[in-house]
Structure 1
Amino acid sequence: MATSIQASSMLSSTTSHFSERYQRRAIKATLHAPKLSMTNLSFPKLNFDMGTQYPDGNFTISEKIERKASDFEAKTKLYAILEAVADRVEMHKNIGEQRSNWNSLLLTSINAITLSAATISAIASTCNFGAAIGALKASSTLLYLAATGMLIIMNKIQPSQLAEEQRNASRLFKQLQFQIETKIALSSPTIKDVNEAMKKVLALDKAYPLPLLGVMLEKFPQKVEPAVWWPRKTQNQEERAKRSFQNNGWSANLEEGMREIVEVLRRKDIAEYLRLGSKALKLNKFLAMAGPTLTCLAMVGSVFIGSPVHGPWAVGVGVVAGALASVVNTFEHGWQVGMVFEMDRSNAGFFTSMEETITTNLEEEDPERRENGEMFEMKVALQLGRSLSDLRNLASSSRSSGEKVEEEFASKLF
């Protein structure tokens, strides 16, 4: 009995000991959070009025929605223009290759026909049979007639010049394509960007037309003028975004330097390419008239071959004039004099475009509305094939030496 009581007492003591330890641990593990008074909490009142203004941009919600819709519409239209521009790049590239092939095929064909006619005329002069002479004379005359007609058409359309026009158009449309892609990637296009891109596309279409009939560029103009493939701008027509740079990268020295660059472009580069283009045009006109004239003389000479009165000189005219016509045709179209004229005209247009771009920026009185000065100077230097220091040296030498600058061109590329 005593043993049972002792065991019960020990069990009770042990239970009490473990209970106390458990309570201590429970007390230590308890987390005490601060009591919050719901009466002291205040929440902002939300007003869903569509006319409410917000600090970011000071636009109402409805204005923001309209602005996003307008930006999306502008970007969609710009993508449509981009697709049309990419298509024009391929069109002008393919047509340029086609017209270059025209030049080679027509040149080879006309020379072959002309030389064949001259050879037949020479054979006819040595033939003693009347019937054979008549057949040879008829063949030579028809060949010269065909060569004259083909040469008149070839000189009228100037395939080498057409090919150069399409090469220029393909390059300029590709340049416009890159500009539109950059605009979409780096900024949010607007309707103004869409209108500007449309004007550039239409100006290029007008400057380099694809059809031959009705809208083909004049191949023998009275006066040589620079090619114009950009829409004309007035002082405030193009608005540029304001930047955070002080004076937008412009300074008095940079403005004065750009004015000097414009003067050098006018005095040297534009004037020189217009002069070279005028010489190429005069030479092309002379050759275009000389070729058909010689084939006509050769045709007349072949008609009188075998005549007792006109026979001696007729042979010489029929053979020599035909050979000279082949030489003239090869010089005109083999050396692509029309293409040289188009290159000179296009180069003059390139420098005229630079001049107009610089002048447009300088005429804008507010520097913040101009293109960033540092970026603009870098673009001008790259277009002229110069470093920034070289470009500044050109401007300073123009200011200091006056007319002596005539010895140096602004461009080092071409």
Structure 2
Amino acid sequence: MEAVADRIEMHKNIGDQRNEWNSLLLNSINSLTLAAATMAAIASMSDGDATNAVALSSTAMYVAATGMLSIVNKIQPSQLAEEQRNATRLFKQLHNQIQNILSIGNPNPIHVKEFMDKVLALDWAFPLPLLGAMLDKFPAAVEPAVWWPRNGRKQPKTGKGYNGWNEKLEEEMREIAKVMKRKDEEEYLNLGEKALKLNKVLAMSGPVLTGMAAVGSAMLSQSHGGWASAALAVGGGALAAVANTLEHGGQVGMVFEMYRSNAGFFKLMEESIESNLKEDDLERRENGEMVEMKVALQLGRSLSELRNLAEDSSVKGDAIHEFASKLF
């Protein structure tokens, strides 16, 4: 529990730091780019030795902005901050679970192993370092975030026979899992793919535009320029500022991570339901009534709404239009 509390503090502090990175770098790069565009405009309208000095200064600023944009677009500070926010929230949940075990009493080595596995899974899912461990910000395929151990442990026998399960409840849980998979999880994966594509376009556009603007301002300094070079230098800088604002001001990387995390939330619920249904020994399952109540609360539904959704799914199948979750 102390190790988890320490991780909560670390992820919270680093999440705040990376959120500040995003704001600082966004404002700094935009200021640098717009200043370079202004200087290029001045150089295009003046003559003499001062023109070369102003144009060269504009070129240097564009080159610096291109380098900074390339680094920032690679690490995606807003997405890093969202990862740490998610990690903080999930470690707090884990901390509460450990406190519950301790308050109930009689913790055993199985509990220790289970929580250690959960801690290590969270460490793997939300790494703190940037070099060598950072998650791929532009994956080839969008997949749900996974922050839980994939090898679930067997529940101890309860000695209560049916343990709250019956055939009707099993069928209800199967239908709910199907709805989550084909509606909620699929929807967030599709949204994540769209956010990823937009982020890729914006991440490539920024450095390309500032690079083109640097070429235009360099041509102004060598007296090869005209209105075409001026338009390239000024227009490229202005468009780069717009692209940078859309990407990092709009926190597109954070939006992608949020969609990926939401898809992971539904995947975790599906796996939890399926692991119970696959267990033939009813006494080794979680209590069925508690599972039903937990699923209903996580989806923002009452028990009657959950049962109605399962009934609609069994009748309509893939044609059902309703999503499982009413929360997000």
Asked whether the two chains share a fold, i.e. TM above 0.5, the reply is: yes
- Cα displacement (A) at 1:322: 0.3
Aligned pair 1:232/2:147, yes or no? no
Separation (CA, whole Å) in 1 of partners of 2:163 and 2:264: 28
The one-letter amino acid of 1:105's match is L
The one-letter amino acid of 1:123's match is I
Task: Report the counterpart of residue 314 of structure 2 in structure 1.
Answer: 399
Task: Report the counterpart of residue 160 of structure 1 in structure 2.
Answer: 78
The one-letter amino acid of 1:225's match is E
- Cα displacement (A) at 1:134: 1.3
Preserved CA contact (<8 Å) 1:125 1:306: no
Task: Report the counterpart of residue 310 of structure 1 in structure 2.
Answer: 225
Higher RCO, 1 vs 2 (CA within 8 Å, ≥6 residues apart): 2
The one-letter amino acid of 2:104's match is L
Q: Which runs of 5+ in 1 are unaligned?
A: 1-81
Aligned pair 1:85/2:4, yes or no? yes
Aligned pair 1:256/2:184, yes or no? no
Q: Which runs of 5+ in 2 are unaligned?
A: none
Moved over 4 A (4+): 306-309
Task: Report the counterpart of residue 125 of structure 1 in structure 2.
Answer: 44
Preserved CA contact (<8 Å) 1:240 1:371: no
TM-score (norm 2): 0.98
TM-score (norm 1): 0.78
Matches within 5 A, 1:14-33: none
Task: Report the counterpart of residue 197 of structure 2 in structure 1.
Answer: 282
Aligned pair 1:410/2:324, yes or no? yes
Alpha-carbon RMSD across the aligned residues, in angstroms, is: 1.1
Separation (CA, whole Å) in 1 of partners of 2:163 and 2:223: 87
- Identity value in percent: 63
The one-letter amino acid of 1:160's match is S
Preserved CA contact (<8 Å) 1:228 1:349: yes
Separation (CA, whole Å) in 1 of partners of 2:290 and 2:283: 13
Task: Report the counterpart of residue 344 of structure 1 in structure 2.
Answer: 259
Task: Report the counterpart of residue 144 of structure 1 in structure 2.
Answer: 62
The one-letter amino acid of 1:312's match is W
Pairs aligned (count): 328
Q: Which one has a bigger Cα radius of gyration?
A: 1
Structure 2 SS opposite 1:304: helix
- Cα displacement (A) at 1:243: 4.3
- Cα displacement (A) at 1:128: 1.6
Preserved CA contact (<8 Å) 1:385 1:412: yes
Structure 2 SS opposite 1:166: helix
Separation (CA, whole Å) in 2 of partners of 1:296 and 1:309: 18
The one-letter amino acid of 1:263's match is K
Q: Deviation per CA, 1:168-196, whole angstroms, max 9, x where unpaired?
A: 00000000000111011114111011000
- Cα displacement (A) at 1:363: 0.4
Structure 1 SS opposite 2:163: helix
Matches within 5 A, 1:67-78: none
